Structure 1
């Protein structure tokens, strides 16, 4: 394996999907073979593998030129032989310029939304970056199909996310607090960034009808993001303050307890233009707790969940469809339990992060 520089806007302990994807792939590799450069401020002490540096200029245009200068110096110090970046724009431009000027090869990692937006905003540049890459890594076959449609000859490998079970240990203190808070309740759980395509609003708007049959129902949303204020406004509009919780500050050490206390996991994801669910690690997390799952079926979700035997996958994500799916599982506990157990069993067929790391090691050789 070449000495790799991982060039990313996100990295652990940042909890975004791309940051966790890169972290879990590379942490299983020999530490002397890679370094991480991120412009994300470190939230806590981390290892010497990570350097936090400003990669984009705040004033000078184009902004990526600063990244070329910063990375050039870092390559010399580390003697880097290859760049890996999960951000085709703008960090893919940095990698491409260094390939053109210094001959440093690079690998582009794609996750669904990124390739769609890049093609919309800078199609010719995006295609050039992909054509010049040593390799393209995609997080799902659905993302891979977007690349194949471009008829680009660059080698492509699908490396799907896996489950980090150790991160989901159940914190006893948190679980006890949740037991007290939700005593006597049936709990619906969603976990994810608060953006529209995750479908939180649809679940909230389904609650008035669901509460007529299941008055003890409660909905817990774990996540943060730009939709928070609007979701809270809808909750207030529907007088659901006592029925819906939005928890924006749940830590990794607490998250497992939320899955463990929940009765049903619902995340009715859907496509909005280029904004898609590239895979959905949270579906693997919910499955590891045997939760019955309701999900959208808009892009990469089926690759995370397998088939309709393991979850309710909604081809059309509407208010009525979400409401009816939740009601069907509440009314049929045996079916709900079967779906949850099937999803848990399927995890045995999902490659581990260690296995996926061997793939990235091969790609970077």
Structure 2
């Protein structure tokens, strides 16, 4: 199978879509002939990239069996490609690809461009529900979850290693949240409603950057939690891995925010793949990534008492927490490895090609 994969935002740009696009392109390349056409720079270059990608696809159609688009913003390409070819076009859709509240986007992309895809590969079932509620035919969608690369052997890091690397003191159990700092992640809510009510020997590290970062820092200062809660900003892959290996629990305390949503929750799979117990909010795309009791624990959104109870229970019984982490890692490996997910993509794209021939 010859696939043209087009991504408008790709590493070294940092973000969830960027990582997902890179990972699926890499995984598909191991089982198919994949040509990756990717934009690796932010900013004004994006419109120019879209025009370039369109002309490249049109002029090289004979070299490919199927075109795969990295996110819904690129669905405009399919709209124009369909004027010249019957070759199948599939598009990966994430939560914001559907819920982005800009009126121009809703009128053109949702009502016109996205519907032109032969298949919409949704990373979460909530994405499908949101799309159907906006008039996209349900038969256009198929759910294929994101995946993770599960290491056969995990590196050995200690809290002492982490303290030396970061230059901070951690003298007790460590909670971790990692990802783009936006309001829907619920980090500020968690600090105010849960973290402040945990024992004084519990520490919390937040890694990532974004528009919510300053609000999180202000919340830490206001509650005098500077010695227990640390907002690191973006971290490199080595420190990220060190955090996964040394934290005791991973927290994904998402809250509902109008016009925004968690399409899947890739980072919770990453955490579980390191044997790190995950506690997450039972909303939007997170239940597609976390199977309650298998690779994490789901609690009701904004239920501070439930978060506190689950955290305390796992921190008090370290043997149970370790065993839960082992089971979660095994579950992720058996159900969410990129090798498995890439084969689902392959089968889906193969079926689209057959329908067109």
Distance 1:233 1:167 in 2: 40
Could you say which residue in structure 2 is the equivalent of 1:27? 26
In structure 1, C-alpha distance between the alignment counterparts of 2:116 and 2:251, rounded to whole Å: 40
| Alignment correspondent of 2:51 | 68
List 4+ stretches of structure 1 deviating above 6 A.
none
Contact 1:197 1:272 in 2 (8 A): yes
* Aligned counterpart, 2:45: 54
Provide the secondary structure at the position in 2 that maps to 1:364. helix
2:58 touches 2:81 (CA, 8 Å); kept in 1? no
Once the two structures are superposed, the pairs formed by residues 136-215 of structure 1 within 5 Å of their partners are: 136-149=120-133, 150=135, 152=137, 154-166=139-151, 170=155, 176-180=160-164, 181-205=168-192, 206-210=194-198, 214-215=199-200
SS of residue paired to 2:27? coil
What residue is the counterpart of 2:279 in the other structure?
A: 294
- Listed as ranges, the gaps of 5+ residues in structure 1 are 43-51, 58-65
Separation in 2, partners of 1:305, 1:141: 13
Cα 1:268/1:71, change in 2 over 3 Å:
same
Deviations 1:193-239 (A, max 9, x none): 101111111222233321xxx22221101111111111111111112
Which stretch shows the higher mean deviation, 280-289 or 151-160?
A: 151-160
Aligned to 1:114: 97
Closer, same or farther: CA 165–329 of 1 in aligned 2, 3 Å = same
Rounded to whole Å, the distance in 1 between the matches of 2:326 and 2:151 is 20
CA drift at 1:264 = 1.3
TM-score (norm 2): 0.82
Aligned twin of 1:41: 41
Q: Is the 8 A contact 1:288 1:344 kept in 2?
A: yes
- Do residues 222 (structure 1) and 215 (structure 2) align? no
Deviations 1:111-152 (A, max 9, x none): 222212269642464243333212111112332333455461
CA distance 1:253–1:171, change in 2 (3 Å): farther
Residue in structure 1 matched with residue 353 of structure 2 by the alignment: none
For 1:129, which of 99, 105, 113 is the aligned residue?
113
- The two structures, once aligned, show a CA RMSD in angstroms of 3.2
Q: What residue in structure 2 maps to residue 282 of structure 1? A: 267
1:352 to 1:332, Cα distance in 2 relative to 1, 3 A: closer
**C-alpha contact (below 8 Å) 2:9/2:41 kept by paired residues:** no
Find the aligned partners of 2:284 and 2:170 in 1 and give their Cα distance: 36
1:265 corresponds to 2:250: yes
Where structure 2 has 5 or more consecutive residues not aligned to the other structure, the ranges are: 351-357
In structure 1, what is the equivalent of residue 12 of structure 2? 13
Q: CA deviation at 1:360?
A: 2.1
8 Å Cα contact 2:67-2:90 kept in structure 1: yes
Deviation sequence 1:309-353 (CA, Å, 0-9, x none)? 543312232444434443343344455445434423322431421
